[in-house]
Amino acid sequence: MSFKRFGFIGLGLIGGSIARAIKDTQPDSYILAYTPHKETVDTAHEAGIVDKPLYEIGSDFNSCDIIFLCAPVEINNENLEKLRPFLSADTLITDIGSVKNGIHEKVKELGLEKQFIGGHPMAGTERIGFNNSKASLLENAYYILTKTDDTDETKLSEYRDLVKNIGAIPIIVPFLQHDYITAAISHVPHVISASLVNLVHDNDSEDQLMKTIAAGGFKDITRISSSSPVMWQQICTTNSFNISELLSKYIDSLYDIKLAIDEHDEEKLLEFFGNARNYRESFAETSSGPIPQQFTIHVDIADKPGNLAKIATLLSDHSINIKNIGIVHNREYERGTLRIEFHNSQGKTDAHKVLTDNGYTIQNS
């Protein structure tokens, strides 16, 4: 691997996961990192992920083969400007932002087009921060790369190899197309998710009965609303044109289906839900996307004292780690009484076998 010395400016969930994956796959790599929060970079140093913690953006970064800009999208531009005086002409610069137009404009303004390749790992969780990062977060996730007009093809090839080496799947996309795609499959869904949560909040009764029974399907489709409000504020301001355009199309489609509901148009309603189901079931399940993937199973058990503990103990005895477990009281969209979530697909697969071998009926999510 041609990259030996890595720099990180920002070390949250994604940056921390990339750094961990690099250390896992290249134990001899040397990682320098700066974050505005001293405790974060010190924690990463104590964990053996960062070899040299930095407390300012300065000349230490001159020695890096590649530098990852891992702050929120608007802050990356500011950090790049601070970094510019200390950059070696041989250093590749990249970012991890989910909006690319702004950083590409800043790179052009600073005359860095030859040594910049945009990056966007399509992975994440609702939890944020370095303490929630993990190397496995990137496994089988699409990792979008965006070129400039002057991108060095050798550097691009080396970056693709790095992405493959840490377990992700590189895909090259023009940066303007990237922003339109992510608006459709990530940014607009987050806006819709938040709007659904606010819809329930604003129309609930004083005894909060809607909130009480908002489990099952509603919790799943609004799960992403737990993401960082600051991050989504910045995404909406930096990718506003694409998000607004697609929201307009979505609003039009909602109005059309509202009319079908008002008019009891059975044919149109059937077509609406049928098309959505068919297209949704055509999605590949092998790779992560921009919305965090869940690894869950549902188990049919009687909701009686001791049953949950029995399953938890059984999985523990087989060294299967559980991320979350609980009884499903609202069964509107669920097919099993007990819902178990795992950290990865292997945990889900192992649990399915263990529980099936012990006589339990499993329903995959």
Residue 55 has pLDDT above 80, yes or no: yes
The residue that leads in pLDDT, 217 or 230, is: 230
Question: How many angstroms separate the Cα of 28 from the Cα of each of 1, 49, 60, 255, 353?
Answer: 11, 11, 19, 57, 38
Asked if residue 187 lies in contact with residue 304, where contact means CB atoms within 8 angstroms, the answer is no
The verdict on residue 80 lying in a domain is yes
Asked if residue 124 lies in contact with residue 290, where contact means CB atoms within 8 angstroms, the answer is yes
Mean pLDDT for 258-268 is 95
For the chain, the first-to-last Cα distance in angstroms comes to: 38
Asked if residue 90 lies in contact with residue 112, where contact means CB atoms within 8 angstroms, the answer is no
- Could you tell me which residues come within 8 angstroms of residue 308 by beta carbon, excluding any fewer than 6 positions away? 301, 325, 326, 327, 338
The residue that leads in pLDDT, 159 or 2, is: 159
The verdict on residue 287 lying in a domain is no
pLDDT classification of 364: cutoffs 50, 70, 90: low
The verdict on residue 290 lying in a domain is no
Q: How far is CA 315 from the centre of its chain?
A: 27
Pull the structure tokens for residue 340.
Answer: 């178990």
- Could you tell me which residues come within 8 angstroms of residue 307 by beta carbon, excluding any fewer than 6 positions away? 301, 338
Q: Are residues 232 and 329 in the same domain?
A: no
- Could you tell me which residues come within 8 angstroms of residue 110 by beta carbon, excluding any fewer than 6 positions away? 80, 81, 84
pLDDT classification of 147: cutoffs 50, 70, 90: very high
Q: Percent of the chain at pLDDT above 70?
A: 90
DSSP state letters, 233-285: HHHHHHSHHHHHHHHHHHHHHHHHHHHHHHTT-HHHHHHHHHHHHHHHHTS-S
Q: DSSP label at 53?
A: E
Pull the structure tokens for residue 188.
Answer: 């607009």
The verdict on residue 89 lying in a domain is yes
Render the burial of 192-218: b for 16+ CB within 10 Å, e for the rest: bbbeebeeeeeeeeeeeeeeeebbbeb
DSSP state letters, 189-242: HHHHHHHHHHHHHHH--TT-HHHHH--THHHHHTGGGGS-HHHHHHHHHHSHHH
- Tell me the one-letter amino acid at 166: I
**Distance from C-alpha of 299 to C-alpha of 361, rounded to nearest angstrom:** 6
The verdict on residue 103 lying in a domain is yes
Residue 291 has pLDDT above 70, yes or no: no
Mean pLDDT for 256-267 is 95
Q: What is the pLDDT of residue 50?
A: 95
Q: What is the pLDDT of residue 221?
A: 78
Mean pLDDT for 169-182 is 94
Q: Are residues 112 and 141 in the same domain?
A: yes
pLDDT classification of 332: cutoffs 50, 70, 90: very low
Q: Are residues 125 and 188 in the same domain?
A: no
Mean pLDDT for 211-225 is 76
Q: What is the pLDDT of residue 1?
A: 54
Among 1-5, 10-14, 159-163, 331-335, name the most confident range.
159-163
Q: What is the pLDDT of residue 290?
A: 55
- Domain count along the chain: 3
Q: Are residues 166 and 183 in the same domain?
A: no
pLDDT classification of 138: cutoffs 50, 70, 90: confident
Query: Of the residues 140, 174, 208, which one is the last residue of a structural domain?
Result: 174
Q: Are residues 85 and 220 in the same domain?
A: no
Q: Are residues 32 and 95 in the same domain?
A: yes
Mean per-residue pLDDT over the chain, rounded: 87
**Distance from C-alpha of 119 to C-alpha of 143, rounded to nearest angstrom:** 7
The verdict on residue 142 lying in a domain is yes
Residue 102 has pLDDT above 70, yes or no: yes
Q: What is the pLDDT of residue 310?
A: 84
Residue 278 has pLDDT above 70, yes or no: yes
Q: Are residues 168 and 187 in the same domain?
A: no
Query: Of the residues 253, 281, 309, which one is the last residue of a structural domain?
Result: 281
Q: What is the pLDDT of residue 335?
A: 42
pLDDT digits (tens, 9 = 90+) for 6-51: 999 999 889 999 999 999 999 999 999 999 989 999 999 999 999 9
Helix (H) or strand (E) holding 30: strand 30-34
Residue numbers of the domain that contains 170: 5-174
Query: Of the residues 174, 193, 226, which one is the last residue of a structural domain?
Result: 174
Q: Are residues 316 and 333 in the same domain?
A: yes
Q: Judging by DSSP bridges, how do beta strands 169-172 and 295-300 pair with one another?
A: unpaired
Residue 216 has pLDDT above 90, yes or no: no
The verdict on residue 20 lying in a domain is yes
Residue 336 has pLDDT above 50, yes or no: no
**Distance from C-alpha of 132 to C-alpha of 209, rounded to nearest angstrom:** 33
Among 90-104, 134-148, 225-239, name the most confident range.
90-104
- Tell me the one-letter amino acid at 203: N
Q: Are residues 270 and 305 in the same domain?
A: no
- Could you tell me which residues come within 8 angstroms of residue 276 by beta carbon, excluding any fewer than 6 positions away? none
Q: What is the pLDDT of residue 334?
A: 43
The verdict on residue 219 lying in a domain is yes
pLDDT classification of 125: cutoffs 50, 70, 90: low
Q: Are residues 183 and 168 in the same domain?
A: no
* Residue 264, domain CATH: 1.10.3660.10
Instruction: Supply the Cα-derived Rg of the chain in whole angstroms.
Output: 23
Q: Are residues 146 and 186 in the same domain?
A: no
Asked if residue 92 lies in contact with residue 121, where contact means CB atoms within 8 angstroms, the answer is no
Q: Are residues 16 and 139 in the same domain?
A: yes
* Residue 309, domain CATH: 3.30.70.260
The residue that leads in pLDDT, 220 or 132, is: 132
Mean pLDDT for 129-147 is 88
Q: Which of 335, 112, 118 is nearest to 220 (CA)?
A: 335
Provide, for the chain, the percentages of residues in helix, strand and coil under a 3-state DSSP scheme, each rounded to the nearest 5.
50, 15, 30
Residue 131 has pLDDT above 80, yes or no: yes
pLDDT classification of 331: cutoffs 50, 70, 90: very low
